[in-house]
Structure 1
């Protein structure tokens, strides 16, 4: 597959598309906040998987087919409309609006396939496998919206299995990935998604008295969101771009992109959703005891995000995974604090994240200082 613009960066239209996609993250967080149960979490995870699969598909798409013509932009608008309809239907995706979610998902899939076929002759061979299997997954989601239980959930469970199979059956060597564009696209959607945690602060503070306790809880919630950003973006996105760019073999690069930016990002996004719910619940009951499910949403959300990023780093053979696993364990250990006092868990989580970031950064700072000292010595001699 030929690359139309190898050095291209993410366009403003793609960023606009990402904003529509992240509305689904907002809707998932709101849905989980109202149904904070294990079954609710499973439903959110299923929706997130199928939605992320097609968002990721559009990231691969615009990496190969730049939205530079009216036809392409119109098809991308159709995909955006599908995502918007899906997001609107998410609160009732497993009840009365399931068929609406499925119809929107089908539109997203069709627009994606039609656009991908414009990527060149090689895309036709690739889409002979990927396109029909994506369509089967979309039809399963639509069928799930029309059928009663237990068929509804069985269809929803089958859809991700078809998608995962498609990811490994289609000829990955047909993809030619522009590392800079690909990494930037995923980085942008992650920063917007992390902003969901900040949005949760504003939503959680609605109709509450703006006293010292609420301000403290809000600042602590912002601190937690900041360290979610720090773990992903503190030089890590540039290093990951280098790793992807250095994968010369097209098949290896495609598999690395699928595993690291596809699958490993799912627990990170689910962690963001859970963290947003936990922060929202904490702001509403800052000086009260949280229910176990609410405390687990906060601690478990941060831990899941960190574990997802640890997997991401391991796949790319980058340093930092052990720090994230250790910090995730400590965040889970702080969950009982929330069951006694909500703000105590929020403060402990922020402190643990800050301590983990500082501890990880100390060796890098020392190496940078030593390199500067050697450089100064060399210039002085």
Structure 2
């Protein structure tokens, strides 16, 4: 791209200067809707701990993530400080609040409210963005025409799914999420309109990296809220204190795994890439959903540990469920970090693979031990991965500066 954005389209972000990369206050304001959405999702699984609710939760996470990340791509190109773009975000916020309010009953009586608001949000934003690009950036305009076609296709599934029985709705909406997720990978191919050119996805890497990081902070914040709320409602005895410390420690370890070194490296990598759109598609569109799922499932596992630190008398089925949540959530989060770090130019990290394998063995071998002890053992594995990651980072730093020093 060349020339000044202001001369080419008043709704577009400047291409140079701080404004090209800055995360604006209205974007942070927009994120508050997703604080509500994340709370609704996590509490639904806490209240109904079974495989069906877990499957429904994963579908809802996928839907909410697509809404948020698609909007992030838009605000990477459009200027949130422009009054019309800001107005669009306010409308999206309203729709997002309505959508989030329906989450607990999305597979029940409020299915149409959830699907209808989400479809309106997705289509409305895409149409607005296409019109903003129409004269200033023809390639992006055609890209959003394709996206609108994809939005229309999945809208049929979302809306029709709201009218079918609950059991069928799960499969219809799963298909909608899969198609939504496949769009960027297939470059929104549409007969007659062709495929999008990923080189036209010229995003600000710094902005994209910071936006995704802030969303992860939101999800980590939900984990803190659950931990603090459960501890405040507990008996405040020694076991409660140990469970609280285990939950808080797991949250800190998850923060360290992503933010200690990975976040900054990822931001630098995408900012320096000649094809930032390709990096953003993998590292900041697809992979973070694993991190989000890992954190949310960890929050649910922490709630179980806080309420039943020594387990209960419900039988081996619940023991396996609890062990699966405690260890499985950390496995998902580790694999998400592994894929993210590889997507931003690092080698496959053996420490992350070893940690995931150790957690799997822990879940399969020690599912019958007290949840509190299992939680601390899982934390010890994460500590080992964090330490190994830090050592690897220092080694890479020394290797990168040694040629210059010579």
Aligned partner of 1:198 in structure 2 is 224
CA contact (8 A) 1:337 1:344 kept: no
Offset at residue 79 of structure 1 (A) = 1.0
Tell me the number of residue pairs that the alignment of Structure 1 and Structure 2 aligns.
374
Offset at residue 222 of structure 1 (A) = 0.7
Runs of 4 or more, structure 1, over 3 Å off, are 363-375
Does 2:121 match 1:115?
no
The structure with more helix, counted as a fraction of residues: 1
Does 2:165 match 1:148?
yes
Aligned partner of 1:169 in structure 2 is 187
Q: Give the gaps of 5 or more residues in structure 2.
A: 6-11, 189-195, 313-317
User: For each residue in 1:47-88, what CA deviation from the matched residue of structure 2 results, as whole angstroms up to 9, or x when unmatched?
Assistant: 111221121100100000021122221210111122222221
Does 2:285 match 1:238?
no
Aligned residue among 283, 295, 303 for 1:260: 283
Does 2:342 match 1:314?
yes
Aligned residue among 359, 368, 375 for 1:339: 368
Aligned partner of 1:106 in structure 2 is 119
Cα 1:108–1:208 shift into 2, 3 Å: same
User: For each residue in 1:153-183, what CA deviation from the matched residue of structure 2 results, as whole angstroms up to 9, or x when unmatched?
Assistant: 3321221233234322331333220111111
Aligned partner of 1:18 in structure 2 is 31
CA contact (8 A) 2:38 2:222 kept: yes
Aligned partner of 1:295 in structure 2 is 323
Aligned residue among 354, 368, 375 for 2:383: 354
User: For each residue in 1:329-359, what CA deviation from the matched residue of structure 2 results, as whole angstroms up to 9, or x when unmatched?
Assistant: 2223333545321110111122211122112
User: For each residue in 1:194-231, what CA deviation from the matched residue of structure 2 results, as whole angstroms up to 9, or x when unmatched?
Assistant: 12221221232253111222122111211101111111
CA contact (8 A) 2:283 2:344 kept: yes
Deviates more, 1:216-225 or 1:132-141: 132-141
CA contact (8 A) 2:310 2:372 kept: yes
TM-score, length of structure 2 as denominator length: 0.85
What is the CA–CA distance in structure 2 between the aligned matches of 1:262 and 1:148, rounded to whole Å?
Answer: 31
Aligned partner of 1:285 in structure 2 is 308
Cα 1:368–1:67 shift into 2, 3 Å: closer
User: For each residue in 1:229-272, what CA deviation from the matched residue of structure 2 results, as whole angstroms up to 9, or x when unmatched?
Assistant: 111111211211222123214xxx32321122111112211111
Q: Give the gaps of 5 or more residues in structure 1.
A: none
Aligned partner of 1:82 in structure 2 is 95
CA contact (8 A) 1:204 1:281 kept: no
Deviates more, 1:127-136 or 1:113-122: 113-122
Residue 339 of structure 1 aligns to a residue whose secondary structure is: coil
CA contact (8 A) 1:205 1:214 kept: yes
Aligned partner of 2:70 in structure 1 is 57
What is the CA–CA distance in structure 2 between the aligned matches of 1:366 and 1:270, rounded to whole Å?
Answer: 30
CA contact (8 A) 2:230 2:306 kept: yes
